[in-house]
């Protein structure tokens, strides 16, 4: 054994890292930290006037309290005198009750809050709050079956039934015709006579019309989507150890991959009375990835549909003249890189004013625009600034306002924190409804005048406030979470950390996790839990008593999570780093971030850096040792999509582009396998239906051909993410303990 390895073993053993006791703490951490946070959530029960509500706080040791809030008076107080009610109830019930442990979970105050009803000891009770006299009440009559209760689920189901249209869903609006697909063609049937007419005759099983059919409001025209089938690629899996038989089973499923011929769908327009097709000019939709959202204008003069072009660089709303079949683009969205149709697409039509609300990143940030449907011109930009719209909550058409979630709207806060806002459709009157430095979740009062706002950070427990929707001002604070019991377990508060990225300008955000046995005088290997999928951002932002990475840290590591460039929810330029470049995975930013953190914290040992992830994270974890093996030394890669030509078509073509270019091969972990440095463990489930397991096996084949050493775990019957199973997780832990700590996993300390 070399002197360096021997020294590492000696130091690690002295610290007691990776030993059986550490594994036990790691396994018990979730349970240890469970139910140790109080006052973290408010579940309001609103009065009929929508200005008052009560809620219950569940407190340590089975204690509880009931709280009454008056939004109009901006007050928060005890819903009643818990001590007096406990005393009165004890007298009439014949057993002792404590004020802090009243035997009921809910109350029914009257509108004047003069009486409170509740159920306890299998009986119904009423308390007169003027005297705190408690009397038993007869059990209320239960509604008969089907009668329902106000606001109950039965009524909602009945309402849905009443709203369901009668007859066939392809019935024409005037009730005369039934539209149907027969022998792959479009037919209509006269409801009165039963006579059928074929509107098309040339469709086949390979080139067929598909339901539903789209009737014009005047019942004169009909739009049907016709799909020409694409490739019929299947993925085959062998189940080596089925539970119900000795011999293996062969499974197959449909699974298109990048570059495959996809089904081509296009709209067709029919004149029902004339029994003819009106040809549609398809110059504006020559190469569809998807065509959908067919919608007739109320006048029946035209219909529109959404066209997503293959390659995802063109997204259009196309209008078709119902008489001539001529087409025009109402919205013509283009990008030199990609349009994130999967995560940043929003289209809402305002028929009465002939407008469309449209989402776009055209100015460099994800924002909303108001279009004139008749001219195809932008009337105005609704939101703007160096921040992003994360999601539209609702449209108030009457008041011409839009409610939405925003990220980065407070420049001094983490740009990933979600805030709730409202703005006029003309772009004026922006109101930020939430304020606190954290990421927010809200619940509105039934009439929408107030909202309950709960915000937190990974390093700050939840704060809950009552705020006015009119102007976002604070009514009163409701709760601040109590984590004293959590801290008493030795729980380490995750630390937010920010460092500059590869351009020396952009802030990169991440989190550092330490073990409960943390000693700043020691040196700790660093492990990154990575997921760099461009479809989102992944570093936790809200408070939790337990993060899965904390269990890994408990073995004697420092864990980090980082959102590097190429992930979403920042600027378009930040996101575009991923385009045709998934192999980048934000590594230049991640490495700079860890180097900056280690400069501040010398207990982070960057001579021993590990990384793990699954799916896209598995691809990145392997990539770390192929392209950045001078920094990362150990990797565990689960169910990785190691070659983007082997994975599902939509995800990979969206970010890597179409047609398939040489960049696919250049960034493949298969073609780069000969560059492996460090210790690699590949994990895959043989029945993974998300990512073709052959993607991992092709890396294995390339590593063998390159004469590279590596470890591998194939789990019989395992599916996607098998490394999160107890066995897979244990093997992942062991791999890092052996190769970063230099000790035999789960061994007893000397």
Residue range 9-37, pLDDT digits in tens: 333 433 558 999 999 999 999 999 999 99
Q: Which one has a higher pLDDT value, 242 or 749?
A: 242
Sign of CA dihedral 395, 399, 404, 406: positive
Cis peptide preceding 733, ω within 30 of 0: no
| DSSP letters spanning 625-687 | HHH-TTT--EEEEES---STTTS-HHHHHHHH-SS--HHHHHT-TTTTGGG--SEEEEEEETT
Q: What is the mean pLDDT of the chain?
A: 94
Which of 12, 4, 2 has the alpha carbon at shortest distance from 744?
A: 12
Choose the final residue of a domain: 139, 161, 183.
139
Rg of the chain over Cα atoms, rounded to whole angstroms, equals: 31
Assess if residue 695 is contained within a domain: yes
Show which of 80, 104, 139 is a domain's final residue: 139
For the segment 55-101, what is each residue's pLDDT rounded down to a tens digit?
Answer: 999 999 999 999 999 999 999 999 999 999 999 999 999 999 999 99
Q: How far is CA 726 from CA 37, 321, 471, in A?
A: 26, 60, 50
* Per-residue confidence (pLDDT) for residue 559, from 0 to 100: 98
Q: Which residue has the tokens 């080596």?
A: 240
The residue-averaged pLDDT of 632-641 equals 98
Question: 464 near 443, Cβ under 8 Å?
Answer: no
The answer as to whether 667 is a domain residue is yes
Mean pLDDT computed over 276-296 = 97
Q: What is the DSSP letter of 583?
A: G
State the CATH number of the domain containing residue 537: 3.40.50.1820
| pLDDT exceeds 50 at position 655 | yes
Q: pLDDT for 306-329, tens place per residue?
A: 999 999 999 999 999 999 999 999
The reported pTM is 0.92
Does any domain span residue 168?
no
Give the single-character DSSP code of 623.
H
Residues 6+ apart with CB under 8 A from 244: none
Q: What is the extent of the structural domain holding 134?
A: 45-139
Residue showing tokens 């982070």: 604
Q: What is the pLDDT of residue 139?
A: 67
**Predicted local distance difference test score (pLDDT) of residue 538:** 98
Q: Do you know the residue count of the chain?
A: 750
In a domain, 298, yes or no: no
Counted domains in the chain: 2
Q: Would you state the structure tokens that stand for residue 630, as one six-digit string?
A: 């001078």
> In the structure, what pLDDT confidence band is assigned to residue 142 with cuts at 50, 70 and 90?
low
Q: Are 19 and 734 in contact (CB under 8 A)?
A: no
Pick from 14-28, 120-134, 214-228: least confident: 14-28
Residues 707, 714: Cα–Cα separation, whole Å = 20
Determine, yes or no, domain membership for 501.
Answer: yes
| CA–CA distance, 7 with 20 (Å, rounded to integer) | 21
* Residue 713 neighbours by CB under 8 Å, 6+ apart: 681, 682, 683, 684, 728, 731
CA distance 278 to 221: 10
pLDDT over 70 at 39, yes or no = yes
On the question of pLDDT at 165 being above 50, the answer is no
Does 395 map to a domain?
Answer: no
| Chain segment 414-451, per-residue pLDDT in tens | 999 999 999 999 999 999 999 999 999 999 999 999 99
Confidence of residue 146 (pLDDT cuts 50, 70, 90): very low
The residue out of 92, 114, 139 marking a domain boundary is 139
- For residue 2, pLDDT over 60 is answered with no
Statement: residue 163 has pLDDT above 70: no
List alpha helices for 34-101, DSSP H. 82-93
Query: Would you place residue 150 in the very low, low, confident or very high pLDDT band (cuts 50, 70, 90)?
Result: very low
Burial 439-454 (b: 16+ CB within 10 A, else e): bbbbebbeeeebbbbb
356 inside domain? no
Residue 523 inside a domain? The answer is: yes
């Amino acid at each position: 054994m070399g002197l360096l390895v021997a020294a590492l073993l000696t130091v690690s053993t002295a610290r007691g890292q990776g030993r059986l006791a550490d594994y036990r703490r790691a396994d018990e951490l979730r349970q240890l930290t469970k139910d140790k946070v109080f006052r973290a959530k408010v579940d309001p029960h609103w009065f009929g006037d929508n200005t008052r509500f009560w809620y219950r706080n569940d407190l340590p040791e089975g204690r509880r309290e009931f709280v009454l809030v008056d939004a109009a008076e901006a007050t928060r107080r005890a819903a009643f005198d818990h001590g007096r009610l406990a005393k009165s109830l004890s007298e009439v019930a014949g057993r002792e009750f404590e004020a802090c442990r009243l035997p009921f979970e809910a109350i029914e105050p009257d509108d004047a809050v003069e009486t409170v009803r509740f159920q306890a000891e299998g009986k119904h009770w009423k308390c007169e709050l003027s005297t705190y006299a408690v009397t038993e009440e007869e059990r209320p009559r239960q509604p008969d079956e089907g009668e329902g209760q106000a606001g109950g689920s039965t009524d909602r189901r009945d309402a849905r039934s009443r709203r369901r249209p009668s007859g066939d869903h392809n019935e024409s609006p005037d009730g005369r015709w039934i539209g149907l697909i027969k022998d792959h063609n479009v037919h209509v049937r006269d409801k009165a006579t039963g006579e059928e007419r074929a509107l098309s005759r040339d469709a086949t099983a390979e080139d067929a019309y598909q339901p539903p059919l789209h009737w014009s409001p005047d019942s004169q025209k009909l739009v049907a989507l016709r799909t020409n089938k694409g490739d019929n690629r299947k993925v085959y899996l062998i189940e080596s150890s089925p539970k119900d038989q000795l011999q293996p089973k062969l499974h197959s499923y449909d699974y298109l991959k990048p570059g495959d011929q996809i089904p081509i769908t296009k709209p067709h327009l029919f004149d029902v009375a004339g029994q003819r097709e009106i040809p549609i000019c398809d110059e504006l939709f020559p190469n569809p990835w998807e065509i959908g959202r067919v919608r007739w204008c109320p006048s029946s003069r035209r219909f529109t549909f959404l066209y997503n072009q293959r390659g995802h660089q063109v997204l259009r709303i196309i209008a078709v003249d119902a008489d001539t079949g001529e087409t025009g683009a109402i919205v013509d969205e283009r990008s030199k890189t990609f349009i994130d149709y999967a995560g940043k697409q929003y289209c809402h039509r305002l028929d009465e004013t002939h407008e469309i609300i449209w989402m776009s990143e055209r100015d460099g940030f994800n924002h909303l625009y108001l279009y004139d449907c008749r001219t195809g011109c932008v009337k105005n930009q609704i939101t703007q600034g160096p921040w992003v719209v994360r999601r539209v909550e609702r449209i108030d058409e009457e008041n011409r306002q839009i409610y939405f979630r925003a990220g980065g709207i407070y420049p001094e806060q983490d740009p990933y924190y979600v805030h709730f806002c409202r703005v006029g459709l003309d772009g004026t009157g922006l109101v930020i409804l939430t304020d606190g430095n954290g990421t927010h979740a809200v619940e509105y009062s039934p009439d929408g005048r107030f909202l309950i706002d709960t915000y937190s950070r990974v390093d700050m427990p939840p704060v809950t406030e009552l705020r006015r929707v009119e102007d976002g001002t604070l009514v009163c604070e409701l709760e601040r979470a109590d984590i004293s019991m959590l801290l008493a377990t030795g729980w380490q508060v995750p630390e937010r950390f920010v460092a500059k990225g590869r351009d020396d300008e952009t802030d990169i955000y991440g989190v550092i996790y330490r073990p409960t046995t943390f000693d700043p005088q020691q040196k700790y290997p660093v492990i990154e839990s990575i997921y760099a999928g461009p479809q989102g951002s992944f570093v936790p932002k809200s408070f939790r008593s337990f993060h899965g990475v904390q269990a890994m840290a408990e073995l004697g590591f420092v864990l980090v999570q980082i959102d590097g460039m190429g992930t979403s929810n920042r600027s378009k330029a930040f996101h575009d780093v991923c385009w045709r470049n998934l192999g980048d995975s934000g590594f230049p930013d991640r490495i700079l971030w860890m180097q900056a953190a280690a400069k501040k914290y010398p207990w982070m040992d960057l001579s021993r850096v590990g990384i793990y992830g699954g799916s896209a994270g598995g691809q990145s974890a392997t990539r770390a040792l192929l392209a950045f093996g001078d920094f990362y030394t150990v990797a565990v890669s689960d169910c990785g999509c190691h070659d983007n030509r082997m994975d599902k078509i939509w995800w990979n073509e969206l970010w890597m582009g179409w047609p398939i270019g040489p960049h696919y091969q250049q960034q493949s972990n298969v073609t780069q396998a000969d560059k492996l440095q460090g210790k690699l463990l590949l994990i895959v489930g043989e029945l993974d239906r998300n990512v073709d397991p052959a993607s991992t096996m092709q890396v294995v084949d390339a590593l063998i051909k390159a004469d590279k050493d590596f470890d591998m775990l194939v789990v019989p019957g395992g599916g996607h993410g098998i490394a999160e199973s107890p066995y897979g997780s244990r093997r992942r832990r062991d791999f890092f303990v052996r190769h970063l700590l230099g000790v035999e996993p789960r061994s007893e300390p000397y």
